[in-house]
Structure 1
Amino acid sequence: MPPLDPRAILAGRPTARPSAGTVVTIAVSSLCLVVALTIMLHDGATGVPAAVVLALVPLPLLLAGILALDRLEPEPPDALVAAFGWGAGVAVLLAMLLNTAGLDLVWAPMLGSELGTYAMAAITAPVVEEVLKGAVLVGLLWFRRSELNGPTDGIIYGSMVALGFAVVENISYYAFAPPGTLALTFTVRGIVSPLLHPLCTSLTGIGVAAAALRGPGRSRALPVLAGLAGAVALHAAWNASSALGLAGLGAAYLAGVGVLVALAVVLHRDRQRIVALIQTHLPQYQEVGVVTPADVWMLSSLHRRQRARERTRATRGRGPARALADYQQAATELAMLHRRHGLGLVPDDAFVARRDPLLLLMHHARAAFA
């Protein structure tokens, strides 16, 4: 028998290598990013190195926060990188071209330069940008639906594509900031409102994740459109608030805080749902020797999972600790698989074909750490 490849089993593919579609997405996104930065330089952007540094300053903290939400059922790194790259490359370049075309061809001739710019920011940009960011989420729904197991996954992917978009958009704002306003621009975009894009696109992500869990015969378009409408509305409210001064900004900020609190509630309930699935579906595998009541208890808490890995690393070494981490993820994937099967999203033969490798991985992992 060929050696067991935990990464391939967890990914549900014959090999752990990224798929051709993921590689193409990352390559195209990288090319689009280069073109977008070239356009900025051609249009007279100044201080681009400093703008890049300022745009990257909040990124590690924001990435750490998003990935911290993704610990119970981690998403594949290649899919996360592709989502981030799409936002930073494809979405940014197309938004740049479409927003500029809308301003030059519609709003400026109709309303003049100043009012036309405001109309573009408040009306055109939210629609264009949220549709372009959401496109990669719809791609996940179409090509990698099994990765979308609940609203947490939608929030993770939505936040990743939005962070990619926000970083490059901030480079543009900083590079074109009028003299003497760079510090203020950084304060507004990098400190006061770094979560604007992730909050907006997370709403689209929730809609896409809800569509992914709809059973056969039910329309998937409605939840996607509802999430996208929420994203556009929040984005438009923020952009339009600039015309109302501090009062408008405060109202938009409160709306953003309200969405953030709502997302926190959704994340908490989704984690409870996943724990309930683990406690419901895993005990049936006690008879085959891959799960014990103690394992179910350990798997039902992020804190207990981490403590178990730390103890195993301290007493057995890194290899068994890695095997325990694989066991934890495989067990969670197995619980998610049962839910999709129960919803009619996975046929019986596909369920068995996915279940058996996960059980095999759990068996081998237990032999390494138990």
Structure 2
Amino acid sequence: MSTTDTSAVSSDALRRQKEAIEISGWGERFHFVQPHNLSFWLYLALTAIGAFQAWAYYAPGAGFYAGGLAIAAVLCGLGGLAWFAWFRHIDRWERQPGLLIAAALLWGAIPATFAFAMTVNTAMLGIYSKLFGQEWSASWAAGATAPFTEEAAKLCGFILLMSLAPRLIRTANDGLIVGAFIGLGFAVFEDFLYAANSAAATFGTDPVGNASQTAIGRIAASFVSHPLFSALVCAGALYLIGTAAQPRRIGRGLAFIVAGMLLHFTWDDATGLGFGNPFVMIAVMFASVVIGFTILRIAFRKAAPREHQFVRDILAPEVEAGTLTDAEVDGVLDRKARKEFQKSAPNRQARRARKHLRRAILDLAHDIADAKGNDTEAVHHSRAEVERLRARDGISRQV
């Protein structure tokens, strides 16, 4: 069993570790049931309203188009599961608790979709058609409505979750991840809504075929959709609010919020922006995809230094005690250092070991945070795993 020599650790390193764990919220648990928190009851009430609205919308036609609804649910659910797996993969610093992620998905799926967006969108689209006519509405009404109503609906849930998990949602990276899951819940149920509606098209003559075609088309376009929009908007909101772990950045926050809403606008109004020309419309959508992912990459890069500092501070005693080296920690955090660390490996087996070592080092940081800096069985195991990987493949502590 591996232990850290505390006599070799300075009080400054221990202080940095303690402060990082306290400020970051790494290792904190999420408790959804909070009877003394008004946000808990508000979340439940709005979810109940959304569930009632959803039942009222689907129940009348469920018996007539059961096959179409079933295939739509399966296809949209599978698409959502694929994106869920990817989002969990990129949530690599301090993975959000499963219950918090479930609450984020539920908000996007039920309250945001049915208690807010669908009701308000229907009203606004009716107003636009009366004010500006059907032709204008066909090209511009969606973009003049959804970026405001739908992003506001998703953002309301994010604010509620911040009040339910104030020690877990603290950095811009948390905003990006939780916002993406809220958007995922919204996207899956919106895709299902469109597919379910298409089941009744052509007087219900081919409900399964119509629903399948619509669901596949919606899923194919979902790589730039609500998860991207709400990730940017929620990260921007967190910058605006500021937390103990994330200094307030008003300009940056506004920029990300506006970017998320503008991307939503260009995606919804690609037809109008393309002036009815299908080639121009495709060009607009392609440009929206490229710009969207470029901005998202910038957002993650801007959020990364705060998370990197938490990792460095949490692992500072391990480095001073000789359990880890600075080069190994840099290899976890910095892309350039990671490439150099990999290139310096003497053979393929060592390169593979160093890849696993990076994962083991991050696991050690997580276990230390979970233990609040104490030496627990999990921490001992993670240290032993680091030593095992290094010893097995000849990785020197001096690398």
Q: Same fold (TM over 0.5)?
A: yes
Structure showing greater Rg: 2
Q: Does 1:191 align with 2:220?
A: yes
Aligned length: 320
- CA offset digits 1:51-86 (Å, max 9, x no partner): 212221311111111111112221122221111111
Q: Does 1:237 align with 2:266?
A: yes
Q: Does 1:329 align with 2:378?
A: no
Q: 1:201 to 1:75 in 2, by over 3 A?
A: same
Q: What root-mean-square deviation, in Å, do the aligned CA atoms of Structure 1 and Structure 2 show?
A: 3.8
Which one-letter code corresponds to 1:155 in the other structure? L
**1:108–1:115 contact (8 Å) kept in structure 2:** yes
Give 1:366's aligned residue.
Answer: 379
Give 1:210's aligned residue.
Answer: 239
Q: Does 1:95 align with 2:117?
A: yes
Give 1:68's aligned residue.
Answer: 89
Provide the rounded CA distance (Å) in 2 between the counterparts of 1:151 and 1:300: 22
Give 2:396's aligned residue.
Answer: none
- CA offset digits 1:129-166 (Å, max 9, x no partner): 01111112223444534323433222211110001011
Among 346, 352, 356, the residue aligned to 1:307: 356
Q: 1:114 to 1:42 in 2, by over 3 A?
A: farther
**Where in structure 2 are there 5+ consecutive unaligned residues?**
1-24, 203-208, 334-351, 385-399
Provide the rounded CA distance (Å) in 1 between the counterparts of 2:366 and 2:82: 25
Q: Does 1:255 align with 2:288?
A: yes
Higher relative contact order (CA 8 A, sep 6+): 2
Which one-letter code corresponds to 1:238 in the other structure? W
Give 1:165's aligned residue.
Answer: 186
Give 2:11's aligned residue.
Answer: none
Provide the rounded CA distance (Å) in 2 between the counterparts of 1:43 and 1:149: 43
- CA offset digits 1:255-311 (Å, max 9, x no partner): 222221332344356446533543356324667x7x733598369528979735999
- CA offset digits 1:183-225 (Å, max 9, x no partner): 5533431113343111111111221332354679x86766554
Provide the rounded CA distance (Å) in 1 between the counterparts of 2:42 and 2:105: 10
Q: 1:11 to 1:28 in 2, by over 3 A?
A: farther
Give 1:38's aligned residue.
Answer: 55
Provide the rounded CA distance (Å) in 1 between the counterparts of 2:330 and 2:378: 14
Q: 1:304 to 1:200 in 2, by over 3 A?
A: farther
Q: Does 1:228 align with 2:257?
A: yes
**2:27–2:372 contact (8 Å) kept in structure 1:** no
Superposed, which structure 2 residues align to 1:318-357 within 5 Å?
Answer: 327-331=364-368, 333=369
Q: 1:232 to 1:265 in 2, by over 3 A?
A: closer
Taking structure 2 as the reference length, the TM-score comes to 0.67
SS of 2:75's partner is helix
Which one-letter code corresponds to 1:95 in the other structure? A
Q: 1:212 to 1:296 in 2, by over 3 A?
A: farther
Give 2:315's aligned residue.
Answer: 282
4+ runs deviating over 6 angstroms: 218-221, 302-306
Provide the rounded CA distance (Å) in 2 between the counterparts of 1:285 and 1:52: 48
Among 323, 332, 357, the residue aligned to 1:292: 323
Give 1:108's aligned residue.
Answer: 129
Q: CA deviation at 1:10?
A: 5.4
Give 1:200's aligned residue.
Answer: 229
Q: 1:241 to 1:309 in 2, by over 3 A?
A: closer
**Where in structure 1 are there 5+ consecutive unaligned residues?**
1-8, 312-323, 335-356
Provide the rounded CA distance (Å) in 1 between the counterparts of 2:353 and 2:56: 50
Superposed, which structure 2 residues align to 1:77-88 within 5 Å?
Answer: 77-88=98-109
Q: Does 1:18 align with 2:32?
A: yes
Q: Which moved more, 1:147-156 or 1:273-282?
A: 273-282
SS of 2:269's partner is helix
Which one-letter code corresponds to 2:121 in the other structure? N
Which one-letter code corresponds to 1:278 in the other structure? V
Provide the rounded CA distance (Å) in 2 between the counterparts of 1:121 and 1:221: 28
